[in-house]
């Protein structure tokens, strides 16, 4: 039994909506849901069905609104210094240990003299950064963002407009050891450069 073009469009729209619900990334969820709702509008127009058109047009508008908010330049992102042995930080790191080890397999826990940050989005924990101070250089040990927020440009903000958290702590550059392709690609993408000393971000005071 064959399917008509209209039915295939309906099935495609349904598949996109179901796929969006399986996304762990907030941004990807919104993008796939937006595409699914637009396809549903087309499906509703072909039937035609005004309720399907109106419902999914509203869903598309909501997805666009949330995506604009997600990428807004004034997004509420933050980086809060925290004691490296703070129970809150240690509990956060333990609860995300398996995900952390996919990018930082050698990282265990912060050392007593480390510089640590809790990364936030809309006032809620979204990640953590840990580094070892070497004079005015911060040697990066951990740069972790929860999977749901990896498309939220937290890293771009932190090493750009948010980099004052480093300079206020007395650092003029951040250095990371190369060797992990995914991490290297991410750091190069947010402004680090390849040097004989490793991946280096020179901070502006």
- List the 115-121 sheet strands across, edge first: 77-82, 115-121, 124-134, 137-145, 173-176, 198-202, 193-195
For the chain, the domains span 5-70, 77-202
* pLDDT tens, per residue, the chain with 205 residues: 567 888 888 888 888 888 888 876 777 888 889 999 999 999 999 998 999 999 999 999 998 888 887 776 656 788 999 999 999 999 999 999 999 998 888 898 999 999 999 999 888 899 999 999 999 999 999 999 988 787 667 888 899 989 999 999 999 999 999 878 888 888 999 999 999 989 999 997 6
77-202: in CATH 3.40.190.10? no
pLDDT the model gives residue 123: 84
- State the DSSP H helix or E strand holding residue 95, giving kind and residue range, or none if neither: helix 87-95
Say what the pLDDT of residue 193 is. Answer: 94
pLDDT of residue 3: 72
The DSSP H or E segment spanning 38 is helix 26-46
Q: So what's the pLDDT on residue 21?
A: 81
């Amino acid at each position: 039994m064959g399917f008509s073009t209209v039915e295939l469009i309906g099935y495609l729209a349904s598949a996109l909506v179901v796929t969006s619900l399986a996304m762990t990334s907030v941004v990807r969820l919104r993008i796939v849901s937006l595409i699914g709702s637009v396809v549903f509008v087309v499906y509703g127009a072909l039937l035609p069905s005004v309720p399907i058109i109106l419902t999914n047009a509203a869903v598309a508008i909501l997805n666009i609104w949330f995506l604009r908010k997600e990428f807004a330049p004034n997004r509420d992102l933050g980086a809060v210094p925290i004691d490296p042995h703070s129970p809150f930080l240690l509990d956060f790191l333990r609860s995300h240990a398996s995900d952390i080890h996919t990018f930082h397999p050698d990282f265990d826990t912060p050392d007593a003299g480390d510089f640590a940050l809790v990364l936030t989005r809309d006032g809620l924990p979204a990640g953590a950064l840990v580094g070892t101070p070497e004079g005015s250089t911060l040697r990066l040990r951990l740069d972790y963002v929860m999977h749901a927020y990896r498309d939220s440009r937290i890293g771009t903000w932190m090493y750009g407009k948010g980099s004052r958290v480093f300079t206020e702590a007395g650092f003029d550059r951040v250095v990371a050891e190369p060797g992990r392709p995914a991490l290297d690609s991410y750091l190069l993408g947010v402004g680090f450069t390849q040097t004989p000393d490793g991946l280096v971000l020179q901070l502006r005071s």
